[in-house]
Structure 1
């Protein structure tokens, strides 16, 4: 049986190598594109420059999933009667509360954005709610939805910052989001922002499928090459063996 490395097979080997290499390279290119899409969706925006709230969302818009942690500048008037305290918030190892007051946004047709003014260990020690006009920078966050039930809807303490719960405490239309003040109010500690965007299951899925498809093509080309080599090298000795009796006949 002739060796698969015989010069007569070099052209086929080279063609197979080129096809498999191209398929593998294109597959890795699509795989890198898939990873880049997912990384872009999970980017931490908390350190970028603030933009006006209106450039990110309006009072009736759903929360833009790619803007979690986006710093925004908000101008408006405080709604002190809507102040609530969100329990279960830890600051430097101590359990406490977020102090939240809606800010009626200028030019938002009555829409108000709940603002986390800061953290306090005991709501009784919180400074009085602010009044009047205000302008501040805040990190934009989507409404929470942990599924916890407010066991006492009549008080000002909420187990989560859910818009459907907060709206029971304020006679005001609310944005589908809330903001965490970058600078806490005097008498309050800074509230932490530790929420990053969740990457969608199907983010960049087309690129991933293309990568798998190219790798499959590469494996198929390698399989065809292997079958050709094995069949060719096995067929030639049989042909030579069949020709030997004819060559020895007188």
Structure 2
């Protein structure tokens, strides 16, 4: 009598493969990675919503310059366009002209000056855009008029704080030409700068001097308290966390499919 044949073993199921120690270990690693991604997404969400937005019209209240920022620091977004009050004296010989300045659509020039801040603990200066003129001749006349009053007498100014526009190389045809309002570029041409501290932003004066025209400097737009770019980044981290689990599942399924193929090939053999 012939003994009954032993039933052929069945291939493992996907669930059996994924419950093996190797794949459970990889699942634990995915949990750690997904946790890190979730933390990064939460951090981005925390930065996306400004829980303490500035009050409407806050930039229109005139405050002392020293209450906004110290010298040498960058102007943050909340303080961009803030109206400030400052007093000091003009440094003679440092009234410089910046070209390519538009005022209500008309191209012209800004006349600028170095205002040495009064009562500062160390020598400190602020670059001031004093006023706008239509042509170089008017700019030269304004510089002459301002030089006559740069006698060390105290000057009180109000205006808006604006971020440094950055330094640009001058045109080859006129190496002395300034085309951007940059305190860093002006500093390289100012006098008496030994040990000088300089404010990084500049001031657009509310009241023009020296026969110039007031610079058009409207109030900044009041932005939303929600930063949608940060929300987008947070969504990206959530996608990355989900992808970590998908990758674990996909790799496990590929391993299971290979085992099934090997089992079928062994059976045919």
Compute the displacement of 1:150 (Å): 5.1
Rate the CA distance shift 1:177–1:123 in 2: closer, same or farther, 3 A. same
CA contact (8 A) 1:56 1:64 kept: no
Q: 1:133 maps to what in 2?
A: 154
Compute the displacement of 1:86 (Å): 0.9
2:209 to 174, 180, 185: 185
Q: Does 1:143 align with 2:156?
A: no
Extract unaligned runs of 5+ from structure 2. Answer: 1-44, 239-269
Q: Distance in 2 between matches of 1:144 and 1:164?
A: 10
Q: 1:245 maps to what in 2?
A: none
Q: Distance in 2 between matches of 1:64 and 1:50?
A: 17
Q: 1:69 maps to what in 2?
A: 81
Moved more, 50-59 or 171-180: 171-180
Extract unaligned runs of 5+ from structure 1. Answer: 1-31, 214-250
Q: Distance in 1 between matches of 2:171 and 2:185?
A: 8
Q: 1:119 maps to what in 2?
A: 132
Q: Distance in 2 between matches of 1:163 and 1:39?
A: 30
How is 1:4-153 mapped onto 2 (pairs within 5 angstroms)?
37=50, 40=53, 46=59, 48-108=60-120, 109-125=122-138, 126-127=141-142, 128-129=145-146, 130-131=149-150, 132-145=153-166, 147-149=168-170, 151=172, 152-153=174-175
Q: 2:179 maps to what in 1?
A: 159
Compute the displacement of 1:61 (Å): 2.3
CA contact (8 A) 2:131 2:209 kept: yes
- In the superposition, the TM-score normalised over structure 2's length comes to 0.55
Rate the CA distance shift 1:57–1:88 in 2: closer, same or farther, 3 A. same
Q: 2:258 maps to what in 1?
A: none
- In the superposition, the TM-score normalised over structure 1's length comes to 0.59
Q: 2:234 maps to what in 1?
A: 209
Query: For the aligned residues, what is the CA RMSD?
Result: 4.0
SS of 2:50's partner is helix
Render the CA deviation track for 1:138-175: whole Å, top value 9, x for unaligned: 1001111274535444x4x4110122211121123321
Q: Distance in 2 between matches of 1:111 and 1:119?
A: 25
